[in-house]
Structure 1
Amino acid sequence: MNVDIGNALDTSPGVSRDGLERLDRRVERAHGRIQEGRERGEHGFAALNLPERCDPREVEDTVAPFGDPRAVVTVGIGGSALGAATFSAALESDVDAYFLDNVDPAHARRLLSSLPLEETVVNVVSKSGTTAETLANFLVVRDAMQRASVDWTDRTFVTTGPSGNLRELAAKHDLPALDVPEGVPGRFAALSPVGLACAAIQGHDVEAILEGGSAAADRLDRAGAGSLFETPAYAYGAVTYALAQRGAGVNAVMPYAESLETFAEWFAQLWAESLGKDGLGQTPARALGATDQHSQLQLYRAGPRDKLVTLLRPTERPDLEIPETDLEGLSYLGGSTLGELLDAEFEATEASLAAAGRPSVRIEIDRVDERSLGELLYAMEAACVLHGDLASVDTFVQPAVEWGKRAARGLLGGGEFPEAEAVRDKETLIVDGN
């Protein structure tokens, strides 16, 4: 994996090479704090130890008794689902993967009516075991299985913390259970059983995912890794911070591979929930190359100068030849490939932004496989931790999210919460079109 920050220099907004040199001294100090947090296993920093802590055999042994299912459903929300969804979307498998990560009744009804429930494995993921959306969806899934005369206890396992409703449920019904790692916020848990159980069921190489994460972790441990000029993760974290300070309040992540589109969703949660505090943060936007060159690029190149565009691509991919044609004006395409066209689109987007003085960063991975994905996700987590340290925000808490959870629980009668009263007291000004 490599990160090219050249097109973020001397743009508008942008940072100079001298500015990066000055910032690098702060990166070195931040690196020391990050390494100390890792060594102590402190909350949040423990996530950067997952490639070494997570035992792939434990994950694989837990799911092995389910044999060869036709489908797997992960019931979770946010970090309990997006890491698994990223691996699933990126890697091909004969086992279909689905994610109940919302409580939209129409979606849940359609999904459950289409699944072969007798050949479906269900993974319920919640660290606390009390997440309302997750438990509600699980109860709906369990009911659907019972109505279909499927023994849900034979098709279900949980991934949860040491205590709570799901842990008690697993003990009562003798369900297989995987542990959510201690000290790791959900959005940083992709390289743990939270993100890897679905991958194991789909037959992906869990060990290779962790090896990719370990490769990125090794770069943090090497001598000199405290420099942004020597560590891709720190280069990205430092430049995003520098540009955010200079007005790039939006970070548009634009992978040039359909299989990485869900990665942009995972990144959006990581970036928004970790960095959006105290009036600070960088709003993640999601785009897909080359599709969104025909829509969003207009805004990125000619709209307000408040954006960084992160361009992501694999340098190796399967390819498909474009047939020869005698259509006027299109003959130049014949004999080339879709991959060559996509690379040309990538480089044209990059050049278009540069010509307009708009900042972009290029991230390249070797290929879309298990090892490269593990490396990419770990590097983005480390970049996020560095960005948060430089911005002096608490990267590992999410008070605004917790406020919303308490409000929803109070509205549903799950206790007395002042947040629920704030919802009830909402001011209204309704314009009725009926």
Structure 2
Amino acid sequence: MDIDIGNALDAVAGPGVPRDSLDRLDGRVAEAHERIDRGMADDEFGYAALNLPERVDTAAIRDAVAPLTDAETVLTIGIGGSALGAATLTDALETDGDAYYLDNVDPAQTSALLADLDLESTALNVVSRSGTTAETLANFLVVREVYEDRGVDWTEHTLVTTGESGNLRDLADEHDLPVLPVPDGVPGRFSALSTVGLASAAILGVDVESVVTGARAERESLSGSLYETPAYAYGAITYALNARGASANVVMPYHESLETYAEWYAQLSAESLGKAGLGQTPVRALGATDQHSQLQLYRAGPNDKLVTFVHARDGPDVDIPDAELEGLDYLDGASLGELRDAEFEATEASLADVGLPNVRVEIERVDAAAIGGLLYGMEAATVLAGELYGVETFTQPAVEWGKEVARDLLRGGDPLDETTSLRVTRE
């Protein structure tokens, strides 16, 4: 993973970071790195996530999923970090079958998905650290009933990824289901490079060993300077721009296969850094599609954003046939990849032209090693940013509050005394 932060400096952008301010910030990065290094060495909660490339046992994952590898489809039931890491991998990388995710509680979507699945050729991966996550357990109970109604033995198709205790662990023990442990000390949004993110990918034939190898290479690049560590350069520049008024971070991959990556990053950033009135609002976009739907705002609207482009230098391509039509001569001899790259570079230049800060995140190609490095690099960047903000990066108290309120409502309570309603209805 390479980072180019030149278009985020004040010579180009406003808000932008002066070079001397970046030099001073590098001293704080060095101090933060020492804290991160200690946390990793002591396997502290949260910091332990950055040790996963050295700790995750891909052979154990392969063994656990072996009974399910003849499946043509994998349905992962989880929510948030229990699904987004796996979805990022299976959406980005070539797989031997189809991957679907039940990561919401939308009755229409759940019913439509289950109606179309061939359950005999579908493997289930049910993912919840606690084994009590309401959305995950509810969806699993619905799916299990559909299996039973169709006369398919769900126990022969199910893998459980969970903690040492809880309802899912009890269920797995009762039915002798294969189980993968959720790693200790790793919050869900940091678990993509563990059993949580790798199991569904492994079932579908993804080279999870290369994913981990790529992450390990990124881990080895961590040093005490933002000028030597791409991950720290990104974490530091997002922090510095936020302090100067860039309250949103638009994450814009220029590859369709990386669209889910933007969703994964949105959770990682929002849940880790959105505390004490701090943190950037992550916005998901897709190049070149959103040049036609969002670029007008970014170029001509309020200058309160950072745009993060994610781009691969190499990959498959398709030639564009000669059209022999007036006005399309610029496409003669070109390819879709060249057109996409031209769109990307034009958008980058367009934003720099009006002083909107933007950063380029580049990988060599969209493959297993590069995606592993990208995921690890962004986790390290987020941890670094958390140190600079001075927040508790690995907790999510606002999320836990919402869960408790939902449970109270389902039990018939009325915990929403602080809310106000002003309805406008059509007569």
Shift of 1:324: 1.2
In structure 1, how many angstroms separate the alpha carbons of the residues matched to 2:98 and 2:196? 18
TM-score (norm 2): 0.98
- Distance in 1 between residues matched to 2:45 and 2:313, nearest whole Å: 35
Q: CA deviation at 1:251?
A: 0.1
| Pick aligned residue for 2:370 from 353, 369, 372 | 372
User: After the TM superposition, which residues 10-409 of structure 1 pair with which residues of structure 2 at under 5 Å, given as runs?
Assistant: 10=10, 11-220=13-222, 225-409=223-407
Aligned to 1:428: 421
Q: How many Å separate the matches in 1 of 2:69 and 2:210?
A: 21
Residues 321-357 of structure 1 show CA distances to partners (whole Å, capped at 9, x for unaligned) of: 1111221110120111111111111110110111101
Mapped to 2, the partners of 1:410 and 1:305 lie a distance apart of 42
Conserved in 2, the CA contact under 8 Å of 1:320 and 1:337? Answer: yes
Deviation at 1:425, TM superposition (A): 5.5
Give distance in 2, aligned partners of 1:370 and 1:382: 18
Name stretches of at least 5 consecutive residues in structure 2 with no aligned partner: none
Instruction: Say if 2:408 and 2:415, in contact at 8 Å, map to a contact too.
Output: no
- Opposite residue 92 of structure 1, the aligned amino acid is E
Aligned AA (2:81): G
State the alpha-carbon separation in 1 of the partners of residues 420 and 231 from structure 2: 44
Superposition CA RMSD, Å: 1.0
Q: Secondary structure at the match of 2:415?
A: helix
State the distance in 2 between where 1:182 and 1:422 align: 32
Whether the aligned pair in 2 keeps the contact of 1:160 and 1:166 (CA below 8 Å) is yes
Equivalent in the alignment of 2:6: 6
CA displacement 1:107-151 (0-9 Å, x = unmatched): 000011100001110010000001000000000000000001011
User: What letter corresponds to residue 123 of structure 2 in structure 1?
Assistant: V
SS of residue in 1 equivalent to 2:75 = strand
Secondary structure at the aligned position of 1:423 is classed as: coil
SS at match of 2:361: strand
The one-character-per-residue Cα deviations of 1:156-175 (angstroms, maximum 9, x if unpaired) are 11000111101111111100
Please report how far the alpha carbon of residue 60 of structure 1 lies from its aligned counterpart in structure 2 after TM superposition.
0.8
- Whether the aligned pair in 2 keeps the contact of 1:124 and 1:157 (CA below 8 Å) is yes
Residue 422 of structure 1: how far off its partner (Å):
3.2
Count of equivalent residues: 425
Contact 1:70 1:116 in 2 (8 A): no
Q: What CA distance in whole angstroms lies between the structure 1 residues aligned with 2:207 and 2:283? A: 30
Offset at residue 181 of structure 1 (A): 0.4
The alpha-carbon deviation at position 302 of structure 1 amounts to 1.2
Report how far residue 44 of structure 1 moved.
Answer: 0.3
Post-superposition Cα deviations, 1:41-63, rounded to whole Å, max 9, x if no partner, equal 00000000001100101111100
**What's the offset of the Cα at 1:410?**
1.0
Deviations 1:226-253 (A, max 9, x none): 1000000000000000000000010000
Taking structure 1 as the reference length, the TM-score comes to: 0.97
Distance 1:433 1:192 in 2: 50
The SS at the match of 1:422 is coil
Structure 1 Cα separation of the partners of residues 298 and 91 of structure 2? 26
Letter matched to residue 226 of structure 2: L
- Alpha-carbon offset, residue 413 of structure 1: 1.4
Alignment partner, residue 417 of structure 1: none
- Alignment partners' CA distance in 2, 1:154 and 1:423: 43
Q: What is the rounded CA distance, in whole Å, between the counterparts of 2:256 and 2:167 in structure 1?
A: 37
1:428 Cα deviation (Å)? 1.5
The 8 Å contact of residues 95 and 201 in structure 2, kept in 1 or not, is answered as no
**Letter matched to residue 9 of structure 1:** L
Distance between the aligned counterparts of 1:295 and 1:138, measured in 2? Answer: 37
Alpha-carbon distance in 1 for matches of 2:248, 2:418: 32
DSSP 3-state at the match of 1:168:
helix
SS of equivalent to 2:252: strand
Identical-residue share of aligned pairs (%):
65
CA distance in 1, matches of 2:335, 2:21: 41
DSSP-derived class of the 1:288 partner: coil
Gaps spanning 5+ residues in structure 1: where?
A: 415-419
Alignment partners' CA distance in 2, 1:201 and 1:5: 38
Rounded to whole Å, the distance in 1 between the matches of 2:69 and 2:353 is 54
Secondary structure class of the residue paired with 2:401: helix
Deviation at 1:426, TM superposition (A): 2.9
Mapped to 1, the partners of 2:301 and 2:371 lie a distance apart of 32
2-side partners of 1:425 and 1:372: how far apart? 47
TM-superposition CA deviations, 1:185-229 (whole Å, max 9, x none)? 000000001000011011010100000110000011xxxx11000
Q: Secondary structure at the match of 2:66?
A: helix
Q: CA deviation at 1:78?
A: 0.2
